[in-house]
């Protein structure tokens, strides 16, 4: 949110609490609806009945999202108009600088293009990063030895006198392996965004006619026993030596590992998502010792949605592990 529209929300700010809760609830409902099963997907002619009420709810959420995006866009426009902003502060400012006021592209005015693009970035980046963080922490709580190894690495390369920074991530090799293994087991998009073949072709002996909708099962690909040793096991060390895991292929991972897609149509926010996940997880594990309530095992059941969520909320007990002054900065 801060990178895209310059908004940073935190619960506890009374005047903003209502807005925060409304927006976060709408986001959760949106992500659920995008991945929800619809009877009309199987029986198309009953679509008009909206038996599950999903169409009605989606329209309500769309209006709410448009309200938020319109308000934030107007704030940016006014700030630029009155010279309150001398440089681009966020993604929405950059988009506004690219389009003249009142212009039209492909039948859409520039304001709608800016709103739509910014909203797409928010939707694509918010829940995916959150889900990755939750799964990573859940896996580490169930595999304490890996949790300790990450914290030892943080103590060695960062220490306990300051917070981890973006520049430290390159040295945190084991942390990177943990994040990669998390994204292998629980990819942010278990099914890829649909594509459509533009011409007849043959793939692995199968005829794919023009106009076929193509969806890659990333979750299954990441757990293929023909590619991965012990595919359902959490083993971050498999990413410490790529060629060892690749075996006789003698090359790095290519199409076996696609948490953010591949090629020109891959996720444009992959680098930002990687950075956010690594830095947030690094600071959390550097600053706190974490355990599951009663030292029990975390339920790893998967829920439903476009982004792969946990079926049950993650409860964590935290204890500070740094000196008090650092938490007051």
Extract the annotated binding site for heme.
267
CA distance 254 to 221: 12
* Cα 283 to Cα 127, 155, 162, 276, distances in angstroms: 19, 11, 10, 11
**DSSP H or E run through 203:** strand 201-203
Cβ contact 217:190 at 8 Å: yes
Residue whose entry in the numeric block shows the structure tokens 């009663």: 294
Residue 69: CB partners within 8 Å, gap ≥ 6? 115, 118, 119
* Secondary structure of 111-174 as H, E, C letters: HHHHHHHHHHHHHHHHHHHHHHHHHHHHHHHHCHHHHHHHHHHHHHHCCCCCCCCHHHHHHCHH
| Encoded tokens for 142 | 């169930």
Could you say which DSSP state residue 266 is in? S
Provide the pairing of β-strand 213-214 with 317-320. unpaired
| Encoded tokens for 130 | 């959150």
CA distance 103 to 38: 38
CA distance 92 to 121: 10
Residue 237: CB partners within 8 Å, gap ≥ 6? 177
Binding-site annotation: residue ranges: 267
Could you say which DSSP state residue 54 is in? H
């Amino acid at each position: 949110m801060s990178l895209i529209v310059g908004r940073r929300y935190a619960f506890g700010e009374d005047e903003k609490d209502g807005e925060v809760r409304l927006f976060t609830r709408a986001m959760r409902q949106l992500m659920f609806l995008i991945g929800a099963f619809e009877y009309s997907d199987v029986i198309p002619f009953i679509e008009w009945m909206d038996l599950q009420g999903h169409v009605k709810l989606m329209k309500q959420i769309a209006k709410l999202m448009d309200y938020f995006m319109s308000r934030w866009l107007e704030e940016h426009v006014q700030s630029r108009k009155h010279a309150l902003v001398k440089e681009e502060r966020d993604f929405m400012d950059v988009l506004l600088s690219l389009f003249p006021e009142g212009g039209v592209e492909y039948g859409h005015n520039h304001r709608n293009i800016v709103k739509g693009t910014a909203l797409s970035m928010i939707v694509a980046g918010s829940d995916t990063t959150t889900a990755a963080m939750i799964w990573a922490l859940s896996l580490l709580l169930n595999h304490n030895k890996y949790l300790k190894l990450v914290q030892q690495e943080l103590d060695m390369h960062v220490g306990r006198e300051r917070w981890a920074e973006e520049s430290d991530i390159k040295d945190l090799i084991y942390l990177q392996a943990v994040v990669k293994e998390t994204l292998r087991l629980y990819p942010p998009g278990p099914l890829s965004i649909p594509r459509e073949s533009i011409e007849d072709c043959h793939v692995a002996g199968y005829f794919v006619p023009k106009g076929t909708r193509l969806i890659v099962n990333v979750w299954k690909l990441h757990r293929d026993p023909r590619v991965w040793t012990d595919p359902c096991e959490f083993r971050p060390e498999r990413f410490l030596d790529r060629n060892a895991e690749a075996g006789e292929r003698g090359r790095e991972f290519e199409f076996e590992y696609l948490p953010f897609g591949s090629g020109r149509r891959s996720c444009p926010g992959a680098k930002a998502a990687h950075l956010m996940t690594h830095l947030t997880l690094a600071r959390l594990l550097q600053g706190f010792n974490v355990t599951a309530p009663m030292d029990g095992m975390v339920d790893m059941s998967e829920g439903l949605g476009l982004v792969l969520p946990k079926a049950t909320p993650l409860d964590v007990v935290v204890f500070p592990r740094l000196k008090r002054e650092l938490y007051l900065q």
